[in-house]
Structure 1
Amino acid sequence: MTPNAASASSGPSRRSFLASTAVATAAVAGGMPLLAACGGADSGSREGTTSGKDAKKILPAYVASNVVTPDIPAKNGSPIGFTSKLDLTTLKTSVPKKLGKGGKVTIMSPFWGSPPKQDNPYYKGMNDLIGVDVVWQNQDGNTYDQKLGAVLASSDVPDVVVVPSWNMGGKIPSAIISKFADLGPYLSGDAVKEYPNLAAIPTDAWQRCIIGGKLRGLPMPQSYVTGIVPLYRKDIFDKEGYEVPRTADEFLALAKEITNAKAKRWACLDMKWTAWQMFGVLSGSEKPLGWNLVDGKMINRIETEEYLEALEWTRKLFAAGVVHPDALMGKNAPDPGPKFAAGEFLIYSNNISQWWSRTAEQATQNPEFKIWGMDVHGHDGGDPTVWAEQPAGIFAYVNKKASEAVIRDVLAVANVTAAPYGTKEYMMTNYGVEGTHYTVKDGVPIKTTAGNNQVMNAYVMVASPAATLAHPDFPEVTKAQVEWQQRMGAFTKKSSFFGQMITEPARYTNLSNDFEQLEDDITRGRKKISDMQQAVSDWKKKGGDQLRDWYKKLLDDNGSAAS
């Protein structure tokens, strides 16, 4: 098991941020001020103004870490990469002295899996390293919305509460403003230098933590370059002489060549996510990212020609019979891994983390197996337009009632969990205690049973380092992943609300609910493109045009954080 500290995701599912057993990775991203958080659900309050000069007064100073030098530096918004073997004797120390003062800190966080007992060796080892007694109140991540709402509505709020961006609905934003502390006095400007690992977190990620005009959160950064990759069986492509397609038409022609239903081989799964990229459709991972100012007018992704063209192309794939039957099941389709490994289909779109995880799965049982990522091209073969995702997606907030001593202890926790790859603190945070939770063989850390059971999505959610990819067992995959994102980053644009945390007025909450199902109905031939055009027309009348005006005013009042 190898670290994948923030494998840039843009989200097929909320749980894909658990892409690595080594560390939780955010799949649904985030980015800057919560502009509609004060004064009721319909408010576009200027209290949230955090673009330009206002933000600069609030944001922590950025001081790049020089503790460890990555093998592959970040470029065009990519993660950093590490390809070398791990040598525990040369691990660096990024926190030379304990900053914790021995206090007790309670943290409520979502958890996917079975939470370990509080007195387990991992929690004990981390708390000793930090100098803080962290007591976890882990909650089921699948039902976290309900628990979060209940806790924030009560008077009994833990010292720290972790809130993923996808849980930012309803009254949660206003509760964050009323219940959680301003960390600005501890972190804004040069104050952050007391916590060097926090100072090394990219500014984009911190922007998302400004809510109601105050720096309230600690971020889990991620690359803003899309992490959705068209993955393919390179070994079979090489064997059969297939060439990676560069246009939408070439893809369809190749798919027809590959497909032989009688031999149980199809070209691909549902390629809708790749279609969005090929046709330059605005991101659908978060509502604000679906809006963009074009020639002075606010446009939503569903109103664009590119959106309809991407749906039509995806529909052609299904109509041609080149899509594996499992994809007809939509969200309920089984895990693609086994049938991809068996060669039943050769291409599918998914999170970049699967590039490594599929490689690791098949390494011993199927040595010929080679998964790789296709570069995304424009549908006509030209340069693509790929839209940026948000640069952070999970945040930790500190109780407003917390004393300065408790806040300092929380920051001591975060300064350890944000340690970069290649440090003792990173290894403890992501792997636990050597010998108990992991061993190292040929420079590759391997988790024990205790490691898999105890070192799970916990401390990393308090704060994490800059987006990082590191797979010492498959360095060629690390290199390929980072370089793929660097190439795609060169064609990545930031839409008008990149880097902002925005909660739409409550009356629009369900306005777009039916579009994903309609997309699937159209691509699978159950509905027509004209049905989508009608749905968009209805959407405008039911509130889409009013929502457009709301976003335009938001942009006029506060400006854009995209640069």
Structure 2
Amino acid sequence: MTPNADSAPSGPSRRSFLASTAVATAAVAGGMPLLAACGGSDTGSREGTTSGKAADKMLPTYVASTVAQPDLPSKNGSGAGYTGKVDLAALKTSVPKKLGTGAPIKIMSPFWGSPPKPGNPYYTALDAAAGTKITWQNQDGTTYGEKLGAVLASSSIPDMVVVPGWELVGKIANAVTAKFMDLAPYLAGDKAKKYPNLAAIPSDAWRMGIFGGALRGIPMPAATANWITPFYRKDIFDKKGWSPPKSPDEFLSWAKEATSAKAKVYACADMNWSAWSFFGVRPSGTLGWNIGDDGKLTYRHEVPEYLEALEWVRKLFDAGVVHPDDKARSGDQGQRFTAGQVLVYNDNIASWYGKTAEQAQAKPDFEIEGMDLFGADGGNPTLWASQPATIWSLIRKGASKATVENALAAADFAAAPYGTKERMLVDYGVEGTHYTVKDGVPVKNDLGNSQVLNAWVMLAAPAAYYAHPDFPDVARKQVEWQQRMGAFMKKTSTFGMNIVEPTRYANLGSQFEQLEIDYVRGNRKLSEVQAAISTWKSSGGDKLRDWYKELIDKNGSGN
């Protein structure tokens, strides 16, 4: 069985994470949030967040699953790890009786790749097992926001809709409150015990499902110790006698030694995303706000570390150690990495498994390793926690009781923990049709790879974990990396809050991503970045700070 994959609050390409083979069966990214900053009622303002006692009353009672205990329990915000083979003949059942009644439901979800045809063996088997009758309305994941916005603006909304956090901007964020129902009457407190797998989702993840003062979103939990990982070619490092760098200066020095333009080998890809971690820069979005030791509330690009990180990345480009295609932002840096043209690159931690599995047959000596994050001075890093959930499935307002109960039955089935029959079916499909078992390990065939992905795993997920029966050592390394890095984790003042900013600020910081891209490549001046920060403040940033200050004063700090 494969893991419910974690991703980060920001990264090279959130959509590319979900499209990778490593996360084709489950995916989570860094999210956004919501209440009324002052009111919080369902009919009041849709801006703000809900936390504290008001939120606690809406949450399901947490009942941990005891079906299969991990070999590596979660620690320091990590996912859990399963490093042994599962006895497939002794898989347990997490839901004693079928909860679905067969009432038809329509579900819209993002899909990366070519969606399978309706009525295929995977969908048929899942419906039969869960007691559901789902019509999937799969939409292209790369343009999902456009379709989502159009559907939410219409009068015809599917019974259930998957909403990723990165699409929670502008009118979509407010539509979530307006168009989706409060699930507390079905899930608050002990009511959730009817759905044991949903009850086993951690409370912090459920708290992120509060939109507009009501529990609307069924979450996909994520590890909070979850950062973009700087991966390096350990096989090449060992051959050359190199040790992983332990400071930005060491990295630059090593990069100059390792690069050979003549041989078309470059030290690294664009390291911007790891630079944020090296220099202790907060995530973008709502997590970027924090009250410092001086009592001042600042946003991520207002602190010195922001410019220091950008200047360091620019040094890499100026030194010629970054692959030319990365400078041009063309091609696939992951392919350049496996080809040995790039020795270090950034990616979601799920690629640890994805690249290992991908290269196992073609390059048996290939070895990928995650470089430990270091601080700007070579000491311990300052790392900021990711949100505990960032993708949700929601049920439309006005749905019948039968529709709601069947949607919850589907979500409960999808959230089955590792080591269960339900998880096996969700992740691998039907034995003999979608996979075969070799040496005790399930292996998908071509039909499995084309049908068993993207759909059911988007409805809900168990607490974050890693499990790769074919490469158990990779699962161990993923968990241990998160646990080591998690020891240096801090939480911003907005951690754990599902916040929706006022729409008037929706495009306030939209210029920064492109500006960062241009600056590190030498196409913009530092003074232009500084000017953009000043403009951000005067054109609404300072007023947005006041809004956040009031929100934190009313709801308490996330740290």
TM-score normalised to structure 1 length:
0.94
Q: 1:352/1:508 Cα in 2 relative to 1: closer, same or farther (>3 Å)?
A: same
5-14 or 224-233: which moved more? 5-14
Q: 1:157 corresponds to which letter in structure 2?
A: I
* Per-residue CA distance 1:37-83 (angstroms, 9 max, x = gap): 9799x9575xx652111111111111111011112111111111111
Does structure 2 conserve the Cα–Cα contact (< 8 Å) formed by 1:202 and 1:466?
yes
Partners of 1:506 and 1:71 lie apart in 2 by: 45
Structure 2: gaps of 5 or more residues: none
Deviation at 1:141, TM superposition (A): 2.0
Deviation (angstroms), 1:397:
1.0
Q: 1:503: how far off? A: 2.2
* Aligned 1:258-277 pairs, distance under 5 A: 258-277=258-277
1:141-220 to structure 2, matched below 5 A, reads: 141-220=141-220
SS in 2 for 1:58: coil
Residues 358-377 of structure 1 correspond to what in structure 2 (within 5 A)? 358-377=355-374
SS at match of 2:270: coil
Rate the CA distance shift 1:211–1:384 in 2: closer, same or farther, 3 A.
Answer: same
SS in 2 for 1:473: coil
When structure 1 is superposed on structure 2, of 109-118 and 374-383 the one drifting more is: 109-118
CA–CA distance in 1 between the matches of 2:40 and 2:190?
28
Counterpart for residue 18 of structure 2: 17
CA contact (8 A) 1:31 1:391 kept: no
Judged with a 3 Å threshold, the aligned counterparts in structure 2 of structure 1 residues 429 and 33 are, in CA distance, closer, same or farther, namely: farther
Q: 2:434·2:446 contact (CA, 8 Å) conserved in 1?
A: yes
How has the CA–CA distance of structure 1 residues 33 and 395 changed in structure 2, closer, same or farther, with 3 Å as cutoff? farther
Q: Distance in 2 between matches of 1:452 and 1:415?
A: 23
Aligned to 2:379: 382
Give the Cα separation in 2 of the matches to 1:249 and 1:185: 56
Q: Distance in 1 between matches of 2:40 and 2:108?
A: 24
Given candidates 383, 399, 403, the residue that maps to 1:402 is 399
Between the aligned partners of 2:49 and 2:520, the Cα distance in structure 1 is 40
Task: Provide the aligned C-alpha RMSD in A.
Answer: 2.1
In the alignment, is residue 56 of structure 1 matched against residue 53 of structure 2? no
Give 1:429's aligned amino acid: V
2:428–2:452 Cα contact (<8 Å) kept: yes
> Following TM superposition, by how much is the alpha carbon of 1:31 offset from its aligned partner in structure 2, in angstroms?
5.7
Match of 2:528 in 1: 531
Q: Structure 1 CA distance, aligned partners of 2:526 and 2:534?
A: 13
| Aligned residue in 2 for 1:558 | 555
What secondary structure does 2:528 align onto?
helix
Q: 1:472-491 alignment to 2 at 5 Å?
A: 472-491=469-488
Question: Contact between 1:30 and 1:499, CA under 8 Å: does it hold in 2?
Answer: no
- Matches of 2:64 and 2:531, distance apart in 1: 50
Contact kept in structure 2, 1:38 and 1:174, CA below 8 Å? no
Give the counterpart letter for 1:222 in structure 2. Answer: A
One-letter amino acid of the counterpart of residue 318, structure 1: F
| Residue 253 of structure 2: aligned partner | 253
Matches of 1:360 and 1:32, distance apart in 2: 39
Please give the alpha-carbon distance, in whole angstroms, between the structure 2 residues aligned to 1:326 and 1:155: 45
Distance, in Å, in 2 between the alignment partners of 1:109 and 1:542 is: 36
Residue 296 of structure 2: aligned partner: 297
Deviation at 1:346, TM superposition (A): 0.9
For residues 344 and 143 of structure 1, do their structure 2 counterparts lie closer, same or farther at Cα, with a shift above 3 Å needed? closer
**Is 1:434 matched with 2:431?**
yes
Aligned residue for 1:484, secondary structure, equals helix
In 2, the alpha carbon distance for the partners of 1:224 and 1:494 equals 9
How many residues matched? Answer: 555
Q: Retained in 2: the 8 A contact 1:118–1:135?
A: yes
Deviation at 1:148, TM superposition (A): 2.0
Q: How many Å apart are 1:147 and its aligned residue?
A: 2.3
Aligned to 1:256, what secondary structure does the other structure show? helix
Q: Percent identity?
A: 58
Please, which runs of 5 or more residues in structure 1 have no aligned partner?
A: none
Match of 1:542 among 516, 525, 539: 539
Shift of 1:336: 1.9
**Quick check: 170-179 or 306-315, which moved more?**
170-179
C-alpha distance in 2, partners of 1:506/1:39?
Answer: 18
Question: What is the CA–CA distance in structure 1 between the aligned matches of 2:24 and 2:86, rounded to whole Å?
Answer: 15
Query: In structure 2, the residue corresponding to 1:446 is in which secondary structure?
Result: strand
Distance 1:394 1:34, change over 3 A: farther
- C-alpha contact 1:32 1:499 (8 A) present in aligned 2: no
**1:34/1:245 Cα in 2 relative to 1: closer, same or farther (>3 Å)?**
farther
Deviation at 1:9, TM superposition (A): 3.1
Aligned-partner Cα distance in 2 for 1:106–1:223: 30
Query: Could you say which residue in structure 1 is the equivalent of 2:314?
Result: 315
Preserved CA contact (<8 Å) 2:78 2:486: yes
The answer to whether the aligner puts 1:492 opposite 2:493 as a matched pair is no
Please give the secondary structure, in 1, of the residue aligned with 2:411. Answer: helix
Determine if contact 2:49/2:500 at 8 Å carries over to the other structure: no
Residue equivalent to 2:83: 83
Retained in 1: the 8 A contact 2:29–2:165?
no
Equivalent position of 2:410 in the other structure? 413
- The one-letter code sitting in structure 1 at the alignment partner of 2:297 is M
Q: 2:39 & 2:464 partners in 1: Cα distance?
A: 28
SS of match in other structure, 1:396: strand
Q: CA deviation at 1:24?
A: 2.7
Q: Quote the offset at 1:205 in angstroms.
A: 0.9
Contact 2:19–2:113, Cα closer than 8 Å, also in 1: no
**Post-superposition offset of 1:7:** 2.7
Match of 2:339 in 1: 342
Q: CA deviation at 1:144?
A: 2.2
